[in-house]
Structures are given as C-alpha cells and as structure tokens.
Structure 1
Amino acid sequence: MSAAASKLDQLRTMSVVVADTGDADAIARLKPVDCTTNPTLVRKALDLPIYAELIEHELERARGLDGDADAVVRQVVDRLTIGVGRKLAGLVPGRVSTEVDADLSHDTEATLAKARQFIDMYEDAGVGRERVLIKIAATWEGIRAAQQLQREDIDCNLTLIFNRSQAIACAEAGVFLISPFVGRILDWHVARGEVPATIDDDPGVRFVRDVYTEFKRRGSPTVVMGASFRSTAQIEALAGCDRLTISPDLLEALDAEHGPLVRALTPGKGDGRIDPPVDAAQFARDLKADAMADEKLRDGIAAFAKDLAALRQTIAQRLQAG
C-alpha cells in the first residue's frame, strides 16, 4: 500500500467496508462493497432527487388502490423499501441489508412472512436473494426466524447485538452476519460517567473484539460486522474485523487521513472445543443480567419501530395531500 494511501483505502485491504446510508451520491463517491436501507433512510430518500420518480410512481399507484387506508400505506412503504434497495443494489457490487418491520421483532412467524415477502419483491424487481441481507433484531424470536430463513437460502443480518449470548446464539443458528453496535454500547457507559481512558478501554470496541475472537475460535462462518461508530478511532481499533458498516461522514474522514493504519484484528486458529449451546432460558437470563444490553436492545427496537411509524405517517400525509 502506497504511503499516500488514505486510511479508508488501507482499511479496505483489511475489512469489507459497508456504507450505512441510502444516499446514492455518497455511495457512488465512496464506493463501499455493501450498503443498507431502513425506514429512517427511506424517509430521507423521499427528499432526494434520485428517488423522486420512484416515489411519485408508487404514490400515484397507491392513489388508484381501493381498500383500507392503513393497508395501502403499508404497501407503499414496502414497495418504496424495495425500490430504494433496488437502486442501491445497482450502486454496490455486494449486498443491500433490508430491515424487517421492527414491530415484528418478537414474532417469529410474522418476521418469517415479512422476510419472504421482501425476498419475493426483490426477485420480482430483478434483484436476486444473493444480493440481499434480511435485517432482523437479535431477539430470541428474531434469531429463530433467521435460523429458518438461512435454511431457505435467505441470508440474514442480525442487528442490535449488545450481549455475548446474543452473538453466540446467532452463530449457533447459522446466521450469515451479525451487527454489534459499538457506539451505542459506549453511549450507555458514558451516560453513567464511565468514560474510557483509551480506545482499548472502549467497551464497544472490547465487545466486538471479544465476539470476533470467540467466533474465530469456534470456527464459525458467521460474519462479524462492527456498526454504530462514534469516531474514526473506534473504526481504526477494529481494522481487520470481517466487515465494518460506517456512516458517510466517518467514511469521508477516513478518506481524508493518510497516516499508517495498523491492523487490529486477525483471525486466530480454532481450538475445536465445543461449548453447550445457548438455549432460550440462558439467553433470557444473560440479557436480564446485562442492564446495558437489555436496555439497548429494547430501546433500539422501539427506535426502529418509531422510525417505521414516522415513515408510514409521512406516506399517509402525502397520499392525503394528493
């Protein structure tokens, strides 16, 4: 790697870089391998010129539909979600993570139905399932849904990972990828006056390092993708993690820096030890005993559900406005 290479370019040699955005311009400029979409990003897309034709087409189509107004709004939101995802799939060589409705996070069967619906809609739009990750909150019910989806060759991204048992249960279920939330873990501790002295003391960084090491020890193929970063220092401290999903502003910051980037994580050798699997009772017990994880998982689902409700409300208002 040239001495003039940016830290972003150096990072690309160590980890798969994923863009945590639906901003097509940022994706085209920063060239991530994967990207993501969710209700918050779809709502922002409503004001982006690149999506204007898609949005107007779906709103016009919906105005011609009969039936329950709420059902029509939900249909429009689903179609916009897939429409935005399809556009993003045309900008990256890898995958688009697409979030299942957060208000289904504790319902295995409803999560399965929504995930299958999204895959069918993507395939109807010409995007194969191999280009999609279905994003599901890592509740016990969500993990069980993901386990079944993986058996159907539908790869899943289990999100809102804050606890070791959550992560291990996902690996044992054979999910494709997990997203431990570095920044939100740090936020919780800082709010209680627990400010790390160094980046190596950052509880979010330490958690991802622990999960990464454990997965490699087990020989698990489940991908570890650090998420929810608050600084480039956190990202640099996890250089070498399988994947890192990063916001455009932090991608830009890394692209502007040109110092050396040292690899922080390297896959070790598995030791062949087989541990007892995490069952529902242990999962619930370990989450209850972990105040940070219990609170952050609950709050994360609530925030995702709020974003989805806000998107539905915005669509309802646009339909009413004609």
Structure 2
Amino acid sequence: MEEAGKLTLKRVELSLTKFNEVAIPHHLDLLRQHKANIIKYGESGDTRRLRAEQTHARRVAGQLRALLSEMDALRAQVRQEDRQRFDTMTQRTRDLTLRAIVDYLESSPVTIRRLEAAGAEAGAGAEAGSARSTDSVGVVSHAGAQLQLHHDEQEAALREREAVLRGWGELQAEVRALHDAWRHVHEAARLQRDQVQAAAGAADTAALEVAAAREHLSVAQRMSVGLASAGCAALGAAVGGPVGLLAGAKAGAAAALLGAALGLFGARAAARLPRAPPPLPAPAPDTHHHKHE
C-alpha cells in the first residue's frame, strides 16, 4: 500500500547524491582547510588572521548543520520501506561528518598557550627593567618609559588572548550544535535499523515455527500410516496366514494414504463451498382465526 504524500527512493536519489557527493564533502573540506590555517596562524602569532579563520570555520559549521537538517527533512519524505536504503546511502557521509566534529572538539587551542607564553616573557622583561632602574635619575626615567611600554604590550597581548579564546568558544559551540544535528540524523537511522532487524527476527521465528509444525504433521501422518498398516496386517494374518499378513499390510498403507489425501481434498473443497443461508423462522400460528371458530 502506497503511503500518502511519500516519495520513492528513486524520486529523491538525485538530491541525495548532491548531499553525499557535492555539498557535504565540500563543507567538510572547508572545515579541514580552516583548521589548518588556524594552526598555522596560531604558530606564527598572527592573531588577526587566526580570528578570521575561526569566524570562517564557525560559518561553515553552521552551513553544514543546515545541510544535515535538510537531509533529515528529505528522509522524512521517503516511504517507510525505502528509509533503510536511504540510511545506507548516507552512512559514509555521516561517518565523515562525525570525524570532522570530533577533530574540532578534541582540538586544543595551542595558539592560546603560545600567546600566554609571549605575555609571560613580556612581563618578565618589564620586571627586569624595573630592577635596573636604581642607578641614576636618568636611568629611572628611561626604565619607567620601558615599563609603560611593556605594560601596554602586555595589555594588548591579554586582549588578543581573550579574543582568541572567545573565538574558540564560539567555534566549539557551533560545532557542538552541529553534533546535535548529526546525532538527530544518526538516531533516526539507528531506530530504523533496529525496527528492520526486529521484523526480520520475527519473520525468522515464524518460519521456524512453520517448519516445526510441518515436521510434526509429517510424523503424525507416518504414525497414522503405520498404525493402519499394522491393524490390517493383523486382520490379514488372522484370516489368511502369512499371505494375508502381507496383503493386509499393503491394504492398510494404501487406505491410510488415501484417507489422508481425501481428508486434505475435502477440507479444501469445503473451504471453497458457499455457506448455506440460515433457515427461515416458522410462521406463528393464527390464534385470531381459532378464536372466531
């Protein structure tokens, strides 16, 4: 029976191919490129480009999340009997997406540690300049300017670290939202697979029960043939001796087989016969006529 408003897998196969082979692989590749650039600019200390790459990666993760939602909506339009095949066709895409998600979530922001180390070095240099400022008034004045410069550099480094850390937090929040979308799609596929496996198990159990019933029926028929043969053989032996014994056994076997065949034929014929209509009720006696008489 066709589901109302549902589409066959053939109808959505072109759209599904675009998801699997074009759209989602392209966005996964962009995520890998942005992560490589994040690592590169973090190692070089270029925080401006680093923050730009974080923004680009966050935008791509949001687009990938939207693609997963669209793919889930497409799956909902497919007929129930075609959804397992739909899930099989999207399995590799879902696996690659999960791998990219885990790669981002497990990434440690190494650039932040590098910036913290640079800020610590700047702070140590400022303390050293302050310690050397006790020789003369001119040296003290020069050291004070250096201390102010180091303080400004340290403040700038702190702001950069905060911006980079905020960028990482926003990026990982978007990746977690992407993971939630992936999990929704994956759970739907897992539930479909479990239902199919449960139905297959029930069919296997029913097939085993039918086979066992046929075996029991076969054993019962063989026992019936044996008993009929034995009874006829005993009767033949009592009447005609050894020759009667053999003839009675053959007659009993033939009678049992014929009876089984007739019983089966009769049951099938009876099932095909139309049922007789119920008898009409007898008319009530005319009590009014008897009273006039």
TM-score by length of 1: 0.17
TM-score by length of 2: 0.18
More helix by share: 2
Relative contact order: is structure 1 or structure 2 higher (C-alpha 8 Å, sep ≥ 6)? Answer: 1
More strand by share: 1
